[in-house]
């Protein structure tokens, strides 16, 4: 159901858009393990076909590099990284907790301080608690290895967090060129596109992320709601917020979702 007064909903749409910068930091708790940075899972044949269709609708991207799961080419810079530093970073990706990830990342950087992949991962882990250091790490990672996909992911994610969405979009597009099978690139790009109100493109990218991740994190619903309000599909947006509350009734965004639902219900009742 669409509400007859779009004007009454505008403040809520603005609030949702502003919240995107905070949503960008929320994914960090999902980075360890199989559903995180290395978690590329296309769910079934139908999902694979949908993914191919969605990726075919994206603007043509050219380039090559290594993906997070190591299936693409390795840069010359990467080949110069000592084996024991690479081993430490591999253990960071395999770690079960963020604390263990941080320990192994620090070990890798102690061995090789210019290790772009390790700097980028540290930046992603620090994004919520120490955004200035996250920005410095991501910037240095791109400088040390311009073909490091996760470095551009870290830089674009940090730009989102700082509200620099116009800067984030090309950074994240470059991350996707280098890591076309990493869901976080599409997710963060969707954040940036929604914040600049390119809602159709934002929806394509969040759906691509949905097909690549093994299980949608609950905050996907918040991002989808933002996009769907922007597309004036209020009933679908409300469904997303309701789904979020069903999955996380006391989660990080539960109070926010309830507030939006209450205000939209009030608008609906007054029309």
At 2 the pLDDT is 36
Dump pLDDT digits (tens) for 210-222: 888 877 888 889 8
Distance, in Å, from the CA atom of 240 to the CA atom of 224, rounded to the nearest integer, reads 7
Q: Is 91 exposed, middle or buried (0-12, 13-18, 19+ CB in 10 A)?
A: middle
User: Are the CB atoms for 270 and 39 separated by under 8 Å?
Assistant: no
Dump pLDDT digits (tens) for 48-87: 555 566 656 555 443 334 444 433 445 667 778 999 999 9
CA 15, distance to chain mean position in Å, is 19
**39-65 burial, b for 16+ CB within 10 Å, e for fewer?**
bbebeeeeeeebbeebbeebeeeeeeb
Average pLDDT, the chain: 78
**Sequence-ordered alpha helix ranges (H) in 40-182:** 45-57, 76-79, 83-94, 98-111, 116-126, 131-144, 149-161, 165-178
Listed in sequence order, the residues at least 6 apart from 106 whose beta carbon sits closer than 8 Å to its beta carbon are 122
Residue 146: what are its φ and ψ, rounded to 5°?
A: -65, -10
Listed in sequence order, the residues at least 6 apart from 81 whose beta carbon sits closer than 8 Å to its beta carbon are 112, 115, 117
At 182 the pLDDT is 86
19 or 264: which carries more pLDDT confidence? Answer: 264
Summarize the confidence of residues 167-182 as an average pLDDT: 93
CA 127, distance to chain mean position in Å, is 12
Residue 13 — very low, low, confident or very high, per pLDDT cuts 50/70/90?
Answer: low
pLDDT at 226 over 90: no
Distance, in Å, from the CA atom of 51 to the CA atom of 210, rounded to the nearest integer, reads 9
pLDDT at 21 over 60: no
Prediction pTM value: 0.79
Range in 18-22, 136-140, 168-172, 244-248 with the lowest mean pLDDT = 18-22
At 51 the pLDDT is 54
Range in 174-183, 208-217, 248-257, 260-269 with the lowest mean pLDDT = 260-269
Please provide the CATH number assigned to the domain covering 6-270: 1.25.40.10
At 6 the pLDDT is 45
71 or 173: which carries more pLDDT confidence? Answer: 173
At 95 the pLDDT is 85
Summarize the confidence of residues 147-158 as an average pLDDT: 92
Summarize the confidence of residues 207-234 as an average pLDDT: 87
At 259 the pLDDT is 87
Q: Tokens 């007054």, residue?
A: 270
pLDDT at 156 over 60: yes
Distance, in Å, from the CA atom of 89 to the CA atom of 241, rounded to the nearest integer, reads 37
């Amino acid at each position: 159901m669409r509400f007859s007064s779009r004007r009454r909903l505008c403040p809520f749409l603005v609030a949702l858009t502003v919240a995107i910068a905070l949503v960008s930091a929320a994914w960090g708790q999902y980075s360890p393990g199989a559903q995180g940075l290395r978690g590329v899972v296309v769910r079934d044949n139908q999902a694979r076909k949908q993914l191919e269709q969605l990726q075919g609708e994206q603007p043509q991207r050219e380039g090559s590099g290594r993906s997070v799961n190591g299936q693409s080419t390795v840069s010359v810079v990467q080949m110069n990284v000592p084996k024991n530093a690479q081993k430490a970073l591999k253990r960071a990706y395999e770690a079960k907790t963020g604390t263990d990830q941080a320990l192994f990342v620090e070990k890798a950087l102690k061995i090789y301080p210019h290790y772009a992949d390790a700097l980028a991962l540290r930046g992603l882990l620090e994004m919520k608690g120490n955004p200035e250091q996250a920005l410095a790490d991501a910037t240095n990672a791109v400088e040390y290895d311009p073909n490091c996909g996760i470095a551009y992911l870290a830089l674009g994610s940090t730009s989102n967090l700082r509200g620099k969405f116009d800067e984030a979009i090309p950074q994240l597009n470059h991350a996707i060129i280098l890591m076309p099978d990493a869901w976080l690139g599409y997710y963060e790009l969707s954040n940036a596109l929604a914040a600049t109100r390119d809602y159709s493109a934002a929806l394509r990218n969040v759906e691509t992320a949905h097909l690549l991740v093994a299980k949608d994190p609950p905050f996907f619903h918040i991002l989808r709601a933002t996009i769907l309000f922007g597309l004036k599909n209020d009933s679908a947006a409300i469904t997303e917020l309701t789904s979020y509350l069903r999955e996380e009734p006391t989660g990080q965004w539960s109070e926010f979702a309830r507030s939006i639902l209450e205000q939209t219900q009030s608008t609906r009742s007054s029309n």
